[in-house]
Structure 1
């Protein structure tokens, strides 16, 4: 099911603001706990958080923080807990 979210939202995301390191949205190779804390704090104030989350769910994106949730947290939105193929 697609909610037909325009992809133009990406230019308005807090994640593309000057000075924001895009690496904070993805798990580091060392497996550090709470790696997503900084990204989630930024997502809290993001004006396009909802569109970002919808896009990640529709695309089956399993990596990184999108719309304030990491891949494990987004599993709850998939039928049978598996992203679409």
Structure 2
């Protein structure tokens, strides 16, 4: 069963920051790499996503969410999954059993 203990509750206050995000209406393709994307293409997409995050009014809340819930994919709060993984000292989310 999936462990959801690290997720915030359903109270709207826990999620309102998302309505003010710079990425709100941009679609997920800019922030999540497609299967097989590597090298310069991936670096370019990540950098473009980070430029959007750089001017986002809720960047801190987004990054805090990604770190707290161990978001495994995509650019969140201006950091890639590899950067977040390194920031957390190499700790990954527990495996779902």
Q: Which runs of 5+ in 1 are unaligned?
A: none
The equivalent of 1:13 in structure 2 is 21
Unaligned runs of 5+ in 2: 1-5
Whether the aligned pair in 2 keeps the contact of 1:78 and 1:84 (CA below 8 Å) is no
Q: Distance in 2 between matches of 1:64 and 1:11?
A: 19
Runs of 4+ deviating beyond 6 Å: none
Counterpart position of 1:22: 28
What is the TM-score when the length of structure 2 is the normalising length? Answer: 0.71
| TM-score normalised to structure 1 length | 0.80
* SS state at 1:11 partner: helix
The equivalent residue for 1:31 is 37
Deviation at 1:29, TM superposition (A): 1.7
